[in-house]
Structure 1
Amino acid sequence: MARFHQFNANRSRFAHDAAWELAMRSQADFILLSESNKKLAEEKGWIRNADVDINDALVEVSRVFPIVSVALRRDFVVVEIREVTLTVGYVSQNSGLEKYEGFIYEVVAEAGRWPSVIIAGDFNVKIESWGAVVTDRRVQILVEAAIGAGLYSLGDGLCPTLERGESASFIDVTFASKRACQRVGDWCILDEETLSYHNVVLFVYKALGSVASFTLGLRKVSERAMRVFRRTITDRLRHALMPDEVISIVQEALDELRMKCVVRNRSAYWWYEEVGELEESAPEQEGSCREY
């Protein structure tokens, strides 16, 4: 399972720092950024769109899930992460209808190349039912393109993605293909300080597995151990009938794999709360002994 944060940082370095801190604290795997800070994106080496005016970026946080391929378009980025492909885009509210339509249909055409795709970004569309004062002409373009491509909106329409003074709207959108939609869950707006007018959107992709060659903690899994693990899983799953049995079999195999990945020449981790309390009181006890 992979956790994604979707966020418009308004090009603010402070908002970027807040987004990173939140991602680390909540154990997110990726941040999908709109209006990222150009200089910061270049310094950090984030995956970003091809235009000189950087608007979109994908930030790896956990680095648990391998990136298979990357395509940099003028106004959006396309990143394939194993079973799912992510498209991160942004279009300015000042763009004319012709440019907006070109952007939307280019994003949708790119999405049509992948069986499981998620589209996320700030598409700056105003709809009264989404909290805007008026419904603009961009709505028809976006809705027709989404319906034509078989995309589903993941937003629940309960909490705004943008709050500025007394106004609020849902201009940050998340769409998914039918296949991806079946595996995406927990879409919600986080109640966190962002240092931006935009709120952070969270969603998870539940079917995303970790890499075949991976580490358990700091322990590198050998190829031999992986072969044994695969063979064990294959043999035991032949007799599994119920989902609970499958989960139990996989968990037992992972536990056995962890036991084989012994780190040599490493001290045991024996720290616990009482040891910490003793360490803190040591200077005071030492002083008492000297006085005695």
Structure 2
Amino acid sequence: MATSEKKILSKAAGSSSTGTSASSVMTRTEAEAMYSKLLDSLLSAMETLETAVQAAPNTKLDIKTAVKSMGVNIRDFTGLAKKLGMARNPDATELRVKQLQLQQAQQHSETLKLLGEIKAEQALLHEAGLVEVEALRQEVSDIRTVQDHSGGNGADGGSWVEVAKRKGKNQNQKPEANKTVKPTTTRQRARGRPSAILVNVGAEEFPALARKIRGGVNQAITGDSVVGMRQAKSGGLLIEVRGDIEHIEAVRAEVTRSAGPEVQVKSLQQRALVEILDLDEWTNTDEVSQAVANAVSIGQNTIKVVSLRKRFGGSQLVLVSLPQEATRRLVNAGRLRIGMVSCRVRTADRKIRCFRCLTFGHTADKCESPDRTECCRRCGETGHKASSCFSAEQARWILSLGWSDGGSMHTLMIRDLQINVGVCRASQDLALATANAKEADVLIISEQHRNRGEDSGWYPDASSRAAIAVVSDIAVDKIGPPSPGFRWLEIKGYRLYSCYISPNVRFPEFEAFLSGLEVSIRGATGPVVIVGDFNSKSPEWGSPIEDRRGRFLADLLAALGLAVCNEGNEPTFVRGASKSHLDLTLASQAS
């Protein structure tokens, strides 16, 4: 018995090893067949073993029981293998293959059918397009034939051809029920006032003069350009006119002739201010007027050069007043060539100014400041006006810091001091002593040696590298919070800033500093003055070179409308042969 068991086991092992070695070169189908064959052989050998063991009279009962149990396990294992697909089931495999082949055949048939339908539709579309093109050609040919017979004008007795639309709207088309139409919000365009002609006359003479002008003007000259006539608030006759500048002047001349030489007639037009930058230092006002007139095709008599002032690096800036339509055309062009320079053009930011106290930010009807109507807007003195002012030194302190509330000469409201003396303790003491000697009210400091308490009038920033020191008994209206790189105070309606940013910080930190400063400046309700060490280089404030920081800061100043108050190209720090232009004084144009 033992001998027969060894033979059977060795045979099975040999078959298994053969199958394993051959599996590396067999296909999956061959391996499945071999696997199924080995299982069948194993079942057959097991049945033979069970029969021999049960038939042997001298075999122990426990051996018979073990062999029987092993046979049951092997049969169960074979059944599970077939159910799980580990053993090849010829009938199931062939059925699955047939099903896949049938599905592929159906998909191929459907694909061929769809391709046929697509080709047929393309052919129909192509044929329809050719028919439409031929119909259009025929219509054009008919129209040309009619025009040739009628001499090109249907009103001369020729017949007209009715041309129908190529594709009419489908009348049977049902509206989409679920389609929601979004409401469109149309932004109304601001309506500009038309140009007008004002005839100055008293209220009692108005009716007679109006009738005289209506009956005396030449209708051939005025034409359809007059769009309205009414009495102005001042009592005169206001004639609203449309058209270009030359036509308006022609109407004004005709109204002047009809009204008589004793009546004053003038043109009224909406005008706007334009800033022209980057002019070279040799440009004069005549060149500017000529260039603007050529660019927008208007007469030089309608152009008013308000101011031509020096800027940094030898350049100039000119402020020009133009009619609104000419301003729009010039600004849309973006640049204007004056001399050899293609200059930038932009709309000037018109500031609201009170003509009672001569300060900015409000109008005369809301003014609560002292009456300065008798003062010169240029120098602040009384006895003359700005048009006849010959003061060699403008009162720039008045321009930037305003007047006080008393005194015939209107003394200054704030006296501030900015000096460069170093960082040590002796330098700080020297700065305080200089402020006392100059009778300054405010001392703006960067890189101070040591901070004092706010109860003593010392207001540092969050990094203790910039501070504002109030060194007199002047009242502080509002105290700003300490921020990284800057601190501000509001005194007499002006917001004063002290700033410092280290040259060693990275550019993202520099951007964050300027972003915080921009938010603070935009939140100011009045004029601002910014003083500090920005460690940035740009020709805008006299530096011979420009770095990345300088470009970023210059763009911010332009966006905020801030003016650089440094004196020309003078350096703010000199030590031997070393010079720098890093300390800046900035002010809003309303200051």
TM-score between both structures, scaled by the size of structure 1: 0.56
Alignment match of 1:123 (pick from 514, 519, 534): 534
Counterpart for residue 148 of structure 1: 559
Counterpart for residue 307 of structure 2: none
Hey, what's the Cα distance between the residues in 2 that align with 1:39 and 1:28? 19
CA contact (8 A) 1:76 1:90 kept: yes
Structure 2 counterpart of 1:116, one-letter code: P
- Structure with bigger RCO (C-alpha 8 Å, 6+ apart): 1
Which of the two has greater helix per residue?
2
Counterpart for residue 227 of structure 1: none
- C-alpha displacement of 1:6: 2.0
In the alignment, is residue 77 of structure 1 matched against residue 502 of structure 2? no
Counterpart for residue 575 of structure 2: 164
- C-alpha displacement of 1:87: 1.4
- State the number of aligned residues: 178
Hey, what's the Cα distance between the residues in 2 that align with 1:41 and 1:165? 36
Alignment match of 1:37 (pick from 445, 449, 459): 449
In the alignment, is residue 96 of structure 1 matched against residue 503 of structure 2? no
Q: How does 1:250-261 map to 2 (within 5 A)?
A: none
Cα pair distance change 1:91/1:9, threshold 3 Å? farther
Cα pair distance change 1:41/1:126, threshold 3 Å? farther
TM-score between both structures, scaled by the size of structure 2: 0.29
Counterpart for residue 263 of structure 1: none
Counterpart for residue 435 of structure 2: 23
Q: How does 1:104-123 map to 2 (within 5 A)?
A: 104-114=514-524, 115-123=526-534
Q: How does 1:268-279 map to 2 (within 5 A)?
A: none
- C-alpha displacement of 1:62: 1.4
CA contact (8 A) 1:55 1:90 kept: yes
- C-alpha displacement of 1:136: 1.6
- C-alpha displacement of 1:44: 5.7
- Aligned residue for 2:440, secondary structure, equals coil
CA contact (8 A) 1:91 1:100 kept: yes
Counterpart for residue 58 of structure 1: 468
Q: How does 1:188-207 map to 2 (within 5 A)?
A: none
Q: CA RMSD in A?
A: 2.3
Hey, what's the Cα distance between the residues in 2 that align with 1:76 and 1:132? 23
Rg larger for: 2
CA contact (8 A) 1:57 1:88 kept: yes
Hey, what's the Cα distance between the residues in 2 that align with 1:130 and 1:78? 22
- Aligned residue for 1:73, secondary structure, equals coil
Cα pair distance change 1:68/1:39, threshold 3 Å? closer
Counterpart for residue 202 of structure 1: none
1:25-80: CA deviation from partner (whole Å, max 9, x where unpaired): 111111000001135578966111123xx101111111223343332112210111
Structure 1 counterpart of 2:423, one-letter code: R
In the alignment, is residue 87 of structure 1 matched against residue 517 of structure 2? no
- C-alpha displacement of 1:112: 1.0
CA contact (8 A) 1:5 1:28 kept: yes
- C-alpha displacement of 1:119: 1.0
- C-alpha displacement of 1:164: 2.0
Counterpart for residue 14 of structure 1: 426
1:219-260: CA deviation from partner (whole Å, max 9, x where unpaired): xxxxxxxxxxxxxxxxxxxxxxxxxxxxxxxxxxxxxxxxxx
CA contact (8 A) 2:466 2:499 kept: yes
- Aligned residue for 2:499, secondary structure, equals strand
Unaligned runs of 5+ in 2: 1-412
Hey, what's the Cα distance between the residues in 1 that align with 2:563 and 2:545? 23
CA contact (8 A) 1:48 1:58 kept: yes
Counterpart for residue 194 of structure 1: none
Hey, what's the Cα distance between the residues in 2 that align with 1:45 and 1:4? 14
In the alignment, is residue 138 of structure 1 matched against residue 541 of structure 2? no
Cα pair distance change 1:118/1:32, threshold 3 Å? same
CA contact (8 A) 2:540 2:554 kept: no
